[in-house]
Amino acid sequence: MSNAVVAPPDHPAIVSRGLNKWFGEGSARMKAIDEVALVAQYGEMVFIVGPSGSGKTTLLSIISGILRPDSGTVTINGQDIWSLDSDQLAQLRLNNIGFVFQDYHLFTRLTAAENVAIPLILQHHDWDDAIAQARESLDVVGLKDRGDILPVKLSGGEQQRVAIARAIVGRPQILILDEPTASLDGDTGKMIIAFVKARILNQQRCILIVTHDARINEYADRIIYMEDGHITEPERTLP
């Protein structure tokens, strides 16, 4: 679980080329993604920002293997993901990509540790081993003593950290956060993103964040701006 400095893999974490996606039929047909290309490297935290309806979530879904593009390619960890069948895609998402959702998506009747253990159970780990690893993951996010607590008794920031612990428990190389601060107040949101960069990012992991929240932009290594389905400005490296 440590983020010790190690050599990154010898290929980019994410590469997309010529991505296009249409929705609707006839006069209602619209282009959600327009010739989008991006590269994200291991060891960096990349933000995708833009107004509602700009295509950020569609792009996220395509990159993560959930939504098939009408044209274009995506490689993750050097693998052309849209050459995979549905079962292979499901395994790629389970084993290589960690997701953190805006609304946490925690099961209310499960404890924090049980929520975190879910990806390991899906990977067919023994229950006791899964819970032990879940507790290690909770320790990484500063919730060592909260494993037996139900989500309803946790603060919003703690619930988000449980969601992060669940996303990293399988040690994925790609971590995707969709509007991670939307349900948090400003100070808590900044604390969470600062924590992710300091403790979760490492040289063998790439973190991709979709956000409207300009207050956290200072934590990005690069910002990609989207509008009307395409990247509107060159990728910007922050000082």
pLDDT at 189 over 90: no
pLDDT score, position 5: 43
Dihedral sign, Cα of residue 92, residue 98, residue 102, residue 106: positive
For all residues of the chain together, what is the average pLDDT?
Answer: 89
Count of C-beta atoms within a 10 Å radius of residue 59: 29
In angstroms, rounded to a whole number, what is the distance separating the alpha carbons of residues 126 and 225? Answer: 43
pLDDT at res. 239: 42
CATH class of 14-237: alpha beta
Is the pLDDT confidence value at 171 over 70? yes
At 63 the pLDDT is 93
Q: Where are the beta strands (DSSP E) in 61-187?
A: 71-76, 79-80, 97-100, 174-178
**Separation CA 13–CA 206 (nearest Å):** 6
Q: Name the least confident of 66-70, 145-149, 232-236.
A: 232-236
Pairing status of strand 79-80 against strand 97-100: unpaired
pTM across the whole model: 0.86
**21, 25, 30, 33 alpha-carbon torsion, rounded to 10°:** 0
What are the sequence ranges of the domains in the chain? 14-237
List, for residues 1-49, the tens digit of each pLDDT value.
444 444 566 789 999 999 999 999 988 899 999 999 999 999 999 999 9
Q: Could you count the other beta carbons within 10 Å of the beta carbon of residue 87? A: 8
* Phi and psi angles of residue 17, each rounded to the nearest 5 degrees, phi first: -135, 130
